[in-house]
Amino acid sequence: MSGFDTIVEGVLLGGVYALFALGLSLIFGIMRLVNLAHGDLILLAAYLMLSATTALGLPLAAASLLVVVTMFALGFVLQRLVLERVLGDDILPPLLVTFGLSIVIQNGLLLGYGADSRRLQVGSFESSSVTLAPGLSVGLAPLTALVTAIAAVALLQLIFYRTSLGRAFRATADNPAIAQLMGVNERNVYAIAVGLSLAVSVIAAVVFGIRASFDPSIGPARLLYAFEAVIIGGLGSLWGTLAGGIVLGLAQAIGGRINPEWQILAGHLTFLAVLMVRPRGLFPARRA
C-alpha cells in the first residue's frame, strides 16, 4: 500500500499548494501584477492567526474571521497607497516594490515573533484521521485542506461568473479603459482584488499552519510553490491551478519517497519539465 499512500499524500499536499496559488493567480489574472511578497503575506496571516488564537484566546473560526477581515483591509490599503502608484507598462517598479515588501515582512516577522518554529494548535483535530478504505486512513487535517481548496475554487468561480463584482473583475482584466467607461471604478476593483487575494491567503495560512510548523524564513518557498502550481496548471484557469497544485504535491511526495532530500527538488524539476514540454501549462484556459 505504500505506493498508494504516497499518491494520496501527494494529492492532499496539492490541496495546500492550490490554496497558496489561488491568491497569486487572482491578482495576476485581474491586474497583471506578480506579487513577490505573496508567500510572506501568507506567513503574516499565519502569525496573525497564531496571535489571535493564543494571545486573544479566540476559537479557530472567530480568529479566522477576524484575520480574514484584517488581511482584506490590509490588501485594500496596500493597493490604494502603494501598489497603485507603481502599476503601469514598466514591469520593473511593481516587481521591485513587492520584492521590497517581501524582505520587510519576512524580517519584520523575525523581529516580532523570533526565528522559532510555530504551529497553530487546534486540539485533537490535527492528529485525528479518518479511514477511507480498509488499510487506508488519511489525516483529517490534510483531507480538510483538499476539501477547502476545492470549495475555495468553486466559490471563486461563483464570484467570477455569477456576480456583478466578478463581471467587473473580468471586464477590468480584459480592458481597464473600456471597463471604466462602463462605470466600473477601476481603482476599487483592483483594491478589492488584492484584498480578496489576501483573504484567500488566510485560508491557505490556516490550513497550512495546522498541518505543518512554520517560521518567518519560509515565505519565499511558499511563493515558489504557488507560482509552480499556477504555471503547471496553466494561466487563466482556477481549476487548472488546483490541478497544478495536485501535480506539484504528487511530484514532491514521490520525490520525497525515493529520497527525502529530493522532495523539493522533484517539485522544481517537474515545473521545469512542464515548462519544456507544455509551456502553456497542462490545463490552459480555452480562450487564448
* Position 87 contacts another protein (CB under 8 A): no
Of 230 and 246, the one with the shorter C-beta distance to another protein is: 230
Q: Which is nearer to another protein, 32 or 162 (CB)?
A: 32
Q: What is the rounded CA–CA span in Å between residue 124 and residue 83?
A: 41
All three cell numbers of 29, joined, read 489574472
With respect to another protein, which residue has the nearer C-beta, 126 or 228?
228
d(CA 81, CA 156): 26
Q: Looking at the chain, which runs of residues are DSSP E strands?
A: 129-133, 136-139
Amino acid at 85: R
Element spanning 138, H or E: strand 136-139
| HSE value, Cβ hemisphere, 13 Å, CA-based, for 12 | 18
**Interface with another protein by CB under 8 A: which range of 60-68, 69-77, 147-155, 222-230?**
222-230
Q: Does residue 95 interact with another protein by CB under 8 A?
A: yes
108 binds another protein (CB under 8 A): yes
Cβ closer to another protein: 66 or 224? Answer: 224
Of the candidates 191, 173, 194, the one whose C-alpha atom is nearest the C-alpha of residue 285 is 173
| Least distance from another protein to the Cβ atom of residue 64, Å | 27
In this chain, which stretch among 2-10, 101-109, 121-129, 180-188 interacts with another protein, using CB under 8 A?
A: 101-109
- When binding is defined by CB under 8 A, the residue of 86, 150, 212, 282 that contacts another protein is 86
Beta strands in 47-135 (DSSP E): 129-133
Q: Contacting another protein (CB under 8 A), which of 82, 143, 159, 212?
A: 82
Q: Which of 77, 96, 151, 182 binds another protein (CB under 8 A)?
A: 96
Closer residue to another protein, CB minimum distance, 86 or 155:
86
| Nearest residue (CB) to another protein, 53 versus 270 | 270
**Which among 10, 35, 38, 18 is positioned nearest to 219, based on CA atoms?**
38
Q: Are 138 and 132 in contact (CB under 8 A)?
A: yes
The set of cell numbers assigned to 211 is 498541518
Beta bridge partners of 98: none
Site for another protein, rule CB under 8 A:
28, 32-34, 36, 82, 85-86, 91-97, 99-104, 106-108, 110-111, 220-221, 223-224, 227-228, 231, 261, 264-265, 268-269, 271-272, 275-276, 279
